[in-house]
Structure 1
């Protein structure tokens, strides 16, 4: 394929950084595929009926240098004030060792969700530390490995309470002292589930009328209250008690478990996580042991490996939405793993004494502030507090608010006559002086007594963080080495290709990531005044415009902070549209059997009834069955949910027909954006008939997965749906997360990606993603059957390899193949989905030909080992596949296997010098479920070698 120097323009990104194969390598790959040009391959793959007519264009792409300069200019438009707004978001200090070694380290931020435990032991240990930290601080036995944010965690707690409560009541009580965004998201979640929400004073709680109740601790205005009496009343009525608790406050305050709470939720943002204009932040949930099987999200457990050594794994209902589908209790794609890792290491870094000292400093400064205000005659409430106070200022509210802003301090307006002030670990003595000055007070604080303003009965008496991991030597040398040891146990994108179908594990470029740590993006409160966030406003509006152009939609909401949340928000938008048209009865959602497991779970959460549509023999949606079920639904059809290209890795020719049938019966078309990486620049979901789509920015648009979060799932809609998009969490309707722009700080990554790629670069990326997938499918032809292909005999950006015949011929399962790939230094492709017993491979456009060839070599070697078993040349049980993965311990231990150490430990595709050694052998999942341990085990359970 001829090329000129201009093929490399812009010099450093679209063709030289992000897209893996060089022009010369592409020519070689196209030759293997038997086509002359990349466009010829695309014509054979993507139906002409859905192709866009005009090229994707939105200005000249920027080089890395140009982008970073431009981003600096936009960042400067944000004004970084001292934030004292509180309301669930606080200034926090990220220890530089954690910032550099975790947040800015691709070994951590490029990792995938730990579904393959043998290559995820490092992040699993960090997440188990997180669970232990949460369990200790809340005083409850079991915690999960994080949720999206505090508001959605509170909503999850409500639905969990409904599942486990023995009460038959239909209502749920919400403390009026909860943060406004928490109340808003709870109301949104409750409405489609027909849950009546009662917001009121805890003094007015009638426990007999509710299945559960939630209380904020401390309250949004600073009040402290012991909820023991309320918990007793709820339990008497067979209802569930929930506390939304600030974990920093819990280092000083009586824990929810000691009050009798059944569930505790909250945010760990204060544990070293930047404000980020609202996120990402790791929420938590903890509960009593008897309720653990009803808990949403991911739970890390301790099991054993094939050598009987302790090993971590995901446990319980971790992937239940793929099994239970519309009966799933929640979406498992609701975690913030990277942020949970940071929070857990913040606790390791400081230890219990350090955390308590931080909380004491926060409280003492709050007391000093209050003393100064009281001495000047201001009325402060409440009398007892941790870090937040409310001040009655009458008609002076506006003047004091402005005077504080002149001191570069943001306060919270409460009603028309009050101001709220929240302190945090960033508050300095100088901050207090500037704040007093805003109130017309000139004084120092040296003479102020720092007595506690916490009542005796609410002071914590129990120990926490007693496990040795929280008492390790906190010299930075030791911390640095601990974080490195954990990272070395994992296999992330910085080591090897992660060829997961529908997960698009592509490059997360360093230039895209750098602005995340800039104060102008990191240290902005989500409720900061509009004149202080001009940079964020420009970023969000420009990215929204570009995403609309890419997708063919008319409006975007950036609020959903995960792909699953995007699905949910899209369906709620459809509900709002039908309701506005007087068609509330529309409640049926058609979903193909091949759909993502999150789809039916989201539909259930949105109050819809799921009707499953069959697949045809070639994997496409069965159009006749779809039409029959649309006709049967009739005027009750609310929506269909389809994925395009299909989950089977094919561009279906009938997508427009599916959309037309849905519209014919008055439904709306939801197109899942999981596979948008195969469409950008070639086709637009909004042009082929879609009414709404969520976009996985953590897939197609380069936000890293971070070991299972952060993610962003904004939704694009056609104009007729735009009035029903999620409203602002404070004062709006239909909020789905706690901040208006979700995990806003990571939007800068996707913005950088589209700015540096440009329209032509994005289109080229799509084409090369399709090229790479077809190259792998062709190279493996004859060794593995590719289950589904399009009309032109091509796959889209992913392909499904059928491994089921090997179970019959050699008793080799898809698990065996996945674990054997670890020996070659690869993360396994997606296993057993959407077809049981298969592997779905997606190489993305970022992988070079050399890495694709290495993967092919490993897979062909595995096929030859299977053939040896089939021929009887290798034992059916004592073989490299059954014993995989092989550890260093295997290498040096007594060898009683029918194959050599060389074959077992150094299969084709593996590196010899830079070999990845899994830290544990194959993990025993059955043992882990039978012996559930979800907090850090005692250190004596490990040998010196382990």
Structure 2
């Protein structure tokens, strides 16, 4: 793929934007401030000895800089986001309006409980929805996101085991589980024992049974798993695990595929975190704002962290005290309240039947993508998928093009790439999750692009893939050097640095 180079280095309306520090000029500022008194006693008599290196820019420069940077960002409000296992769905604007209502958007976590009764009722209703959708008797709202929810669930399991005087050392984690699961188990002091997948992409039952023992504290299983498949032996897995005295932790990141269709509590699960920002459409990405409530079985409910919202005769209150065996606090206050508002708005606007349709449409869309691409990109496993379609790079053999080449070329086509090389159990994996919010027309456009790229690869145009992306403000990066020798800060010129020393 070739492109005409421009004099400025820009690509149409997208400019090659320098760092804000590189645009600085001494003495330039967007505001004039009066000269203030120079108090010698300020900060204990310590005075600045030189410039501190802040950039000097006019107000238009600052505004234009950040607007230009925003144009470099891909977002769900810009286009289709096919990231597998991330559930990047559209966030209805109704949710955003609810989160900004007076009395909701300006709440403070240290307000007296008597002045926040509406907020506590909202949290109580959200808890009720989550318990009914999962068939679980208790929920902890405080965890901040998925991995934090994992930690909460495993800490509750550890507390329950210690309460019965049954210290155990191992946690079983299938190969098809999310990558944070083994990290969470290790953080809680457990040894991680991996269970391989069978030929169908699901838990190898023979290996699972062989690894069961009196030292197994828990199983951490993702369902549907990261291969986009429902674990068909999940009830038997739960029964055998419980018979061995262990607890069943389920990673609920993929709950969007089964919400309204299957209640995890009915499957024998003891703890499961729910990513509100995946299943119930609260904003997602960039490290937050997430929310990862954890639903708990009857056996684990007494160990849920505090605070918890409780209904009283006079209204609602926060339970701040409990038994000494509880997990105690996972967070400074009560959880991500803005995400609670958005999630409950989504639940109430859909209703139970609507949430069921969410799962059905998500699975339908994923299987449509699977059926339309499987003749050019072989699926990793036979049969239908759940919420995401998993392909391999076998269809690219002999072309000189690999999974990464397809991903980079997608950027030039105006798409964020799908998830690549994950799950690790599949060579050259390409994981695509369309979610339920995309239309058939949107999916058809994406499918046409994917098929076209495969055709170009098979036609011998590997140079195009090696160079991609070429239509972006930044060209293809050396990802090995970026990982091993990242440049994470701007270094000021020597004269500025010396003056500040």
Q: Same fold (TM over 0.5)?
A: yes
| Aligned positions of 1:705-720 closer than 5 A | 705-720=284-299
Map of 1:850 onto structure 2: 441
1:840 equivalent among 405, 414, 431: 431
CA distance in 1 between counterparts of 2:247 and 2:258 reads: 21
Distance 1:595 1:757, change over 3 A: same
Kindly report which structure 2 residues correspond to 1:425-574, keeping only aligned pairs within 5 A, or say none: 456=44, 459=46, 461=48, 466-468=53-55, 471-473=56-58, 475=59, 477-574=60-157
Tell whether the 8 Å contact from 1:649 to 1:788 is kept in structure 2 after alignment. Answer: no
Tell me if 1:602 matches 2:184. Answer: yes
Going from structure 1 to structure 2, the CA distance change for 1:570 and 1:455 (only over 3 Å counts) comes to same
Partner of 2:465: 881
Cα offset, 1:921, TM superposition: 1.1
1:697–1:750 CA contact under 8 A, matched in 2: yes
SS at match of 2:119: helix
Question: Displacement of 1:543 after TM fit?
Answer: 0.5
The structural deviation recorded for 1:825 is: 1.0
CA shift, 1:455, in A, is 5.6
Kept after mapping to 2: 8 A contact 1:565/1:736: no
Q: Does residue 589 in structure 1 map to residue 171 in structure 2?
A: yes
Q: Deviations over 1:136-155 (max 9, x none)?
A: xxxxxxxxxxxxxxxxxxxx
Distance 1:591 1:464 in 2: 53
Give the corresponding residue for 1:396. Answer: none
Partner of 2:202: 620
Which residue of 431, 450, 468 corresponds with 1:859?
450
Residues 706 and 861 of structure 1, relative CA distance in 2, 3 Å threshold = same
User: In the alignment, which residue of structure 1 is the partner of 2:253?
Assistant: 674
The 1:465–1:665 alpha-carbon spacing in structure 2 relative to 1, beyond 3 Å, is farther
Partner of 1:925: 479
Q: Distance between the aligned counterparts of 1:642 and 1:618, measured in 2?
A: 16
Aligned counterparts of 2:361 and 2:248: Cα–Cα separation in 1: 28
User: Residues 811 and 822 (structure 1 numbering): CA distance in 2 closer, same or farther, change over 3 Å?
Assistant: same
Gap runs ≥5 in structure 2: 1-13, 23-28, 309-319, 495-501
Partner residue, 2:365: 772
Q: How many residues are matched?
A: 455
Write the distance in 2 (CA, Å) between the matches of 1:691 and 1:484: 47
Q: CA deviation at 1:599?
A: 0.3
- CA-CA distance at 1:598 after TM superposition: 0.3
- Given the alignment, which residue of 383, 395, 402 partners 1:813? 402
Contact 2:276 2:339 in 1 (8 A): no
Contact 2:221 2:250 in 1 (8 A): yes
Q: How does 1:741-756 map to 2 (within 5 A)?
A: 741-756=334-349
Other structure's SS at 1:524 match: coil
**Cα separation, 2, equivalents of 1:612 and 1:833:** 17
Question: Residue 725 in 1 paired to residue 304 in 2?
Answer: yes
Alignment partners' CA distance in 2, 1:453 and 1:514: 48
Map Cα deviations across residues 864-923 of structure 1 (whole Å, 9 max, x no partner): 011112xxxx4x4xx221111122xxxxxxxxxxxxxxxxxxxxxxxxxxxxxx221111
Matches within 5 A, 1:126-275: none
Match of 2:387 in 1: 797
Secondary structure class of the residue paired with 2:278: coil
Change (3 A) 1:938 1:623: same
Instruction: Tell me the CA shift for residue 515 of structure 1.
Output: 3.4
Distance 1:847 1:820, change over 3 A: same
Q: Secondary structure at the match of 1:840?
A: strand
- Aligned equivalent of 1:283: none
Q: 2:488 aligns with which of 929, 934, 939?
A: 934
Give yes or no for contact 2:152–2:330 (8 Å, CA) kept in 1. Answer: no
SS at match of 1:671: strand
Q: CA 1:818 to 1:937, structure 2 compared with 1: closer, same or farther past 3 Å?
A: farther
Structure 1 residue 933 displacement after superposition:
1.9
- Tell me how far 1:641 sits from its aligned partner: 0.4
* Match in the other structure for 2:9: none
Are the structure 2 counterparts of residues 752 and 451 from structure 1 closer, same or farther at C-alpha, using a change threshold of 3 Å? farther
Q: Distance in 1 between matches of 2:345 and 2:481?
A: 45
RMSD: 2.9
What's the counterpart of residue 697 of structure 1? 276
1:124-166 Cα distance to aligned partner (Å, 9 max, x none): x99x98xx9xxxxxxxxxxxxxxxxxxxxxxxxxxxxxxxxxx
The structural deviation recorded for 1:822 is 0.9
Do the aligned residues in 2 keep the contact of 1:650 with 1:788 (CA within 8 Å)?
Answer: no
| 2-structure distance, mates of 1:766, 1:653 | 17
1:387-442 deviation line (CA, Å, top 9, x unaligned): xxxxxxxxxxxxxxxxxxxxxxxxxxxxxxxxxxxxxxxxxxxxxxxxxxxxxxxx
Give 5+ residue unaligned stretches, structure 1.
1-121, 133-309, 311-348, 361-449, 888-917, 941-946
Which residue of 2 is the match for residue 79 of structure 1? Answer: none
Distance 1:635 1:655, change over 3 A: same
Conserved 8 A contact 2:196-2:203: yes
- Distance in 2 (CA, whole Å) between partners of 1:927 and 1:676 is 36
- What is the distance in 2 between the residues matched to 1:691 and 1:796? 23
**Deviations for 1:422-468, whole angstroms, at most 9, x for unmatched residues?**
xxxxxxxxxxxxxxxxxxxxxxxxxxxx98997616x5746686242
d(CA) in 2 for partners of 1:728 and 1:623?
Answer: 39
- Whole-Å separation in 1 of the counterparts to 2:421 and 2:244: 34
Give CA-to-partner distance per residue, 1:258-297, whole Å, 9 cap, x none: xxxxxxxxxxxxxxxxxxxxxxxxxxxxxxxxxxxxxxxx
TM-score where L is the length of structure 1 = 0.46
CA distance, structure 2, for counterparts of residue 724 and residue 464 of structure 1: 53
Counterpart-to-counterpart distance in 1, 2:278 and 2:30: 34
- Distance verdict in 2 for CA 1:463–1:710, change over 3 Å: farther
Contact residue 656 and residue 688 of structure 1 kept, 8 A: yes
Q: Which runs of 4+ in 1 moved over 6 A?
A: 450-454, 729-732
Identify the residue that residue 317 of structure 2 maps to in structure 1. Answer: none
720-729 or 666-675, which moves further after superposition?
720-729
| Offset of residue 728 of structure 1 | 3.7
Measure how far apart 1:662 and its partner are: 0.8
Residue 688 to residue 454, structure 1, CA distance change in 2 (3 Å): farther
Which is richer in helix?
Answer: 1
Q: Map 1:621-700; keep pairs closer than 5 Å.
A: 621-630=203-212, 634-700=213-279
CA distance in 1, matches of 2:256, 2:444: 22
Offset from partner CA, 1:642-688 (integer Å, 9 cap, x none): 01112111112111111111101011100100110111111011111
Call closer, same or farther: CA 1:479–1:758 in 2, change over 3 Å: farther
Partners of 1:571 and 1:480 in 2: how far apart? Answer: 46
Asked if the contact 2:98–2:345 (Cα under 8 Å) also holds between the matched residues in 1, the reply is no
C-alpha separation between the residues in 2 aligned to 1:463 and 1:538? 54
Query: How many angstroms apart in 2 are the aligned matches of 1:629 and 1:480?
Result: 59
Structure 1 residues 465 and 498 mapped into 2: Cα distance closer, same or farther (>3 Å)? Answer: farther
Does the 8 A contact of 1:648 with 1:800 survive in 2? yes
Asked if 2 retains the 8 angstrom alpha-carbon contact of 1:639 and 1:669, the reply is yes
Alignment of 1:5-24 (within 5 A): none
**Offset at 1:740?**
3.4
Between the aligned partners of 1:758 and 1:454, the Cα distance in structure 2 is 59
Cα distance in 2 for residues equivalent to 1:767 and 1:676? 12
